[in-house]
Structure 1
Amino acid sequence: MKQSDLSNLVQPFHVMELVKHANALEAQGKPVIHLSIGEPDFPMPEPVQQALIKAVADNKTRYTAALGLPELREAISTYYRTAFQVTVPARQIVITSGASTALMYACLALINPGQEVMLADPGYPCNKTFVQMAGGIPRFVQTREENNFQPSWDELNQNWKPQTAGVLLASPNNPTGTQLSSSDMKEIVQEVAHRDGFTIVDEIYQSLCYDNTAQSVLQITGAPCAQWPLVVINSFSKYFGMTGLRLGWMVVPDALAPAIERLAQNLSICPNTPAQWAALACFQDDTLKICEQRRQIFKARRDFMMQSLPLAGIEIQSTPDSAFYIYAKAPFDSERYCKELLEKALVCAVPGKDFSEHRGTTMMRFSYANSMENLELAVERIRRFNSQT
């Protein structure tokens, strides 16, 4: 059977291959410590669990509107107003089957074949696939460690071409755990708009921040509009711990909403209905209290890893202030290093080639979405491994 050109463009997610190897070692009885997958190690908050059970028991399992449950869209609108002091009408909020679907919709709605979209390097590896699915061409802009691996407008402007359609950013970013400053974000969105381009901002790690208050680009721009051609992506997976339920949302300009609705009707019918009802519980005070307690635990883990990894022989070139990742320099070729670290020290970290076209062989990512006990043991194993190589 002859495969499509697009199917051959899509690259494997190398972290998943490494995790499969780690799982095979665990099946042999070996105690692997996972510092690889970007998934909270906590269960869903108990109020969300109960809301999910109740939704199913109450037979709330039928299709919703393609743009999502009206009650949930209103709840997110209220959340933006109370948590970020910004007014986002519910009509501009679209519920999606995870942030990945939101990114796909945004790219399909905004990119024509042959147009280029600028992506920060390093960045989330699937973003280039979303661009390619729309027929676009991803163009990677190399960032610098002195800027915490976030792009400046000057760097983006140097790469802007007549065929450039827009920019896809993530703040906070995976794999670096760093954010754009408000001033840099404002300049980028403003200058891209002046060039009749779009900006897509991925904010799925928005509330998992440790050194400053959580922020949104919408605090700068207000709700997306003609003046601010912006799409904002978010998710219930990271801060709210609902990864497997695959639920996210996007904030879009009014003019874009009909196109997004048509895409949703054709590509997914609607998001997971019980998950949408469960997500309403995310904004209850008791759930938010649980999420804030977990954020403080993540901060303690971040602080421990930042202090301990350099003592174990790992060089860190930037300071992650959000998410649950540390982007670090591998002692030698990162793919070989991570493979040997897994096989000899039973610690699963991620080589940089998933995240970077420019420095994939030199950089690596650690996830600290694991217990402090396991993190302490992992760092000791890394220290011993590095001392012997």
Structure 2
Amino acid sequence: MKQSSLGNLVQPFHVMELVKAADTLNNQGKPVIHLSIGEPDFPMPKPVEQALAQAISEHKTRYTAALGLPELREAISLYYQTNFQVQVPAHQIVITSGASAALMYACLALINPTDKVLLTDPGYPCNKTFVQMAGGIPDFVQTQEAQNFQPSWADLYKQWTPHTAGVLLASPNNPTGTQLGAQAMQEIVQGVSTQGGFVIVDEIYQSLCYDRPAQSVLQVTGAPSEQIPVVVINSFSKYFGMTGLRLGWMVVPDTLLPAIERFAQNLSICPNTPAQWAALACFTPETLAICEERRLVFKVRRDFVVTALPKAGIELHSTPDSAFYVYAKSPYDSERYCRQLLEQALVCAVPGKDFSEFRGSEMMRFSYANSMDNLETAIERIRLFNNRQLP
């Protein structure tokens, strides 16, 4: 059977090979500490769990509209108004099957075959896949430590060509845990707009920030429109801890809604119905208080890890201010280092090749979505490994 060219083009997550190896070690009675997984270690908040169970018990399991529950779209609109002081009409909010579906719909709606799309490097590895599946060509813009691995409009403009259709950004960013400032956001949107392009902004780690209040590009631009060519992606996975329920949302201009609706109807029918009803509980004061408590726990972990890693022999080139990642310099080739760290120290970290075309062999990512006890143990294991003092 002849395989499609797209099937050969899409690359696997290299980290999954390490995770498989870690599982094998665990099954052999060698407990591995994961600093690899991009997933909160907390369960979903109790009010959300209860709302999910109630939705199922009340048989709220049938298809919803392709664009999502009207009640949930209204709740997200109010969330933007209350938390970010920006008016986003509910009809411009689309509920999706995770942020991945939102990114896919946005790329399908905006990219034509052979269009170039600027992506920041390092960045989330699936972004290039979404671009490729829409027929586009990923064009990577190398970011620098001095700018906390975030681009300026000048950086993007240097690579803009007549074939460039737009930009896909993430703020906060995975793997770096850094954000764009409001002025940089404004300059990028204005610059791209003058070129007739689009800006897709992934904000799935938006509320997991530690040194300044959470922000959205929509605070700079207002709601997307024909004149404001912005699409915003968000998710219930990270801040709200609902990863496995696969629920996200996107904010789109009116002109894109018909196409987005057709993609949703054809590709997913509708988002997870019980998860949508459960997500309404995310915006209650009780749930938001739980999520804020957890954010502060992540901040304590962040503060510990960025202080402890250099003492353990890991060089940091930027300070993460959001998400739950540290992007660091590997002592030597990162794939080999991470493999040996796993086998000899029983710590699973992620080599940079998943995230960077330019410096993947130099860099690595640590996730601090783990308990403080495990983080302390892992850092000590890393220190001993780097000093080759392992038993």
TM over 0.5: yes
Aligned to 1:193: 193
Aligned to 1:180: 180
Q: Determine if the alignment matches structure 1 residue 212 to structure 2 residue 209.
A: no
Query: Moved runs in structure 1, 4+ residues, more than 2 A?
Result: none
1:269-304 CA deviation, whole Å, 9 max, x = no partner?
000000000000000000000000000000000000
Aligned to 1:248: 248
Question: Residues of 2 paired with 1:230 and 1:154: CA distance?
Answer: 19
Aligned to 1:382: 382
Deviation at 1:15, TM superposition (A): 1.2
Question: Residues of 1 paired with 2:346 and 2:273: CA distance?
Answer: 40
Within 5 Å, give how 1:91-102 maps onto structure 2.
91-102=91-102
Aligned to 1:149: 149
Deviation at 1:16, TM superposition (A): 1.3
Q: Determine if the alignment matches structure 1 residue 89 to structure 2 residue 95.
A: no
Aligned to 1:284: 284
Amino acid at match of 2:107: C
The alignment partner of 1:388 has SS state of coil
The alignment partner of 1:156 has SS state of helix
Deviation at 1:5, TM superposition (A): 0.5
Amino acid at match of 1:162: P
The alignment partner of 2:55 has SS state of helix
Deviation at 1:365, TM superposition (A): 0.1
Structure 2 unaligned residues grouped into runs of 5+: none
Question: Residues of 1 paired with 2:256 and 2:128: CA distance?
Answer: 22
Deviation at 1:226, TM superposition (A): 1.3
The alignment partner of 2:139 has SS state of strand
Aligned to 2:361: 361
Deviation at 1:126, TM superposition (A): 0.2
1:60-87 CA deviation, whole Å, 9 max, x = no partner?
0000000000000000000000000000
Within 5 Å, give how 1:38-187 maps onto structure 2.
38-187=38-187
Question: Residues of 1 paired with 2:11 and 2:213: CA distance?
Answer: 36
Deviation at 1:24, TM superposition (A): 1.0
The alignment partner of 1:343 has SS state of helix
Aligned to 2:323: 323
TM-score by length of 1: 1.00
Question: Residues of 2 paired with 1:303 and 1:119: CA distance?
Answer: 29
The alignment partner of 2:118 has SS state of strand
Amino acid at match of 1:383: R
1:15-71 CA deviation, whole Å, 9 max, x = no partner?
111111111110111110000010000000000000000000000000000000000
Deviation at 1:136, TM superposition (A): 0.2
Question: Residues of 1 paired with 2:269 and 2:12: CA distance?
Answer: 27
Aligned length: 389
Question: Residues of 1 paired with 2:321 and 2:132: CA distance?
Answer: 30
Question: Residues of 2 paired with 1:106 and 1:127: CA distance?
Answer: 11
Aligned to 1:314: 314
Question: Residues of 2 paired with 1:27 and 1:125: CA distance?
Answer: 29
Question: Residues of 2 paired with 1:196 and 1:335: CA distance?
Answer: 40
Question: Residues of 2 paired with 1:226 and 1:273: CA distance?
Answer: 31
Question: Residues of 1 paired with 2:268 and 2:387: CA distance?
Answer: 51
Question: Residues of 2 paired with 1:290 and 1:17: CA distance?
Answer: 34
Question: Residues of 2 paired with 1:194 and 1:363: CA distance?
Answer: 35
Amino acid at match of 1:8: N
Question: Residues of 2 paired with 1:185 and 1:28: CA distance?
Answer: 49
Structure 1 unaligned residues grouped into runs of 5+: none
The alignment partner of 2:59 has SS state of coil
The alignment partner of 1:383 has SS state of helix
1:225-272 CA deviation, whole Å, 9 max, x = no partner?
111111000000000000000000000000101100000000000000
Deviation at 1:105, TM superposition (A): 0.3
Aligned to 2:30: 30
Deviation at 1:188, TM superposition (A): 0.3
Question: Residues of 1 paired with 2:337 and 2:326: CA distance?
Answer: 16
Question: Residues of 2 paired with 1:18 and 1:338: CA distance?
Answer: 8
Amino acid at match of 1:296: L
Deviation at 1:13, TM superposition (A): 0.6
Within 5 Å, give how 1:267-282 maps onto structure 2.
267-282=267-282
1:304-335 CA deviation, whole Å, 9 max, x = no partner?
00100000000000010000000000000000
The alignment partner of 1:207 has SS state of coil
Question: Residues of 1 paired with 2:148 and 2:385: CA distance?
Answer: 28
Question: Residues of 1 paired with 2:311 and 2:167: CA distance?
Answer: 38
TM-score by length of 2: 0.99
Amino acid at match of 1:307: T
Calculate percent identity across the aligned residue pairs.
Answer: 77
